[in-house]
Amino acid sequence: MSGHVFHEIYIHLNWHTKDDQPLLTPEIEPLVHNYLRQKCGATKGVTVHGTGGTADHVHLAVSIEPFVCISDLVGEVKGSSSHDVRDPRGMKAVEWQRGFGVVSFGKKNLRWVLDYVAHQKEHHAAGTCEGRLEKVGEEGTG
C-alpha cells in the first residue's frame, strides 16, 4: 500500500503503569523501553523514533503507515510487554493501566518531540510538561 500513497504520519504515544505505581525503576526501565522499541520496530508499518518516560509512565514517538490501527498497535504493545518483560528474578516487571494518549505531529516537529520524550524526568522535575503530551484517556486498549 505505502508504495502508492504519500504519508507522513507521526504520533506521540503515552500510557501509565497500573495505579501509577513507580514500576519503571532504573533497573526495569531500560528493559521495558528496549522491549517497546523492539516490539514496535518489528510491527509492520511502524518506525520507532524515540522512547522515554518516568517511573510511572512511558512516551513513544513513532511514525506509522496508513494501514496501522493505532489502538491495535498500543493494545498489542502494552499487552505483550506486560506479559513478556521480566525483571532479573524472572518476575513480571510491569503492568499497565487502562487507556493511552495519542497526539499527532508534523515531521518538522520530530526533533522537538524526541527531545521532550528523551527528557521526561527533567520535565516532570521542573514542572515543564506539555499538557497535551501527558494526557491519557480512560478508554482504550490495554
Tell whether 142 is covered by a domain: no
Looking at the whole model, is its pTM more than 0.85?
A: yes
**Structural domain of 90:** 2-134
What average pLDDT is seen over the chain?
90
Question: Has residue 140 got a pLDDT over 60?
Answer: no
Rounded Cα–Cα distance for residues 66 and 13 (Å): 16
CA angle, corner 102, sides to 99 and 105, nearest 5?
Answer: 175
Question: Has residue 57 got a pLDDT over 60?
Answer: yes
pLDDT band at 138 (very low <50, low <70, confident <90, very high): low
Tell whether 141 is covered by a domain: no
Tell whether 139 is covered by a domain: no
Question: Has residue 142 got a pLDDT over 80?
Answer: no
**What is the tally of structural domains in the chain?**
1
The grid coordinates listed for 55 are 517511573
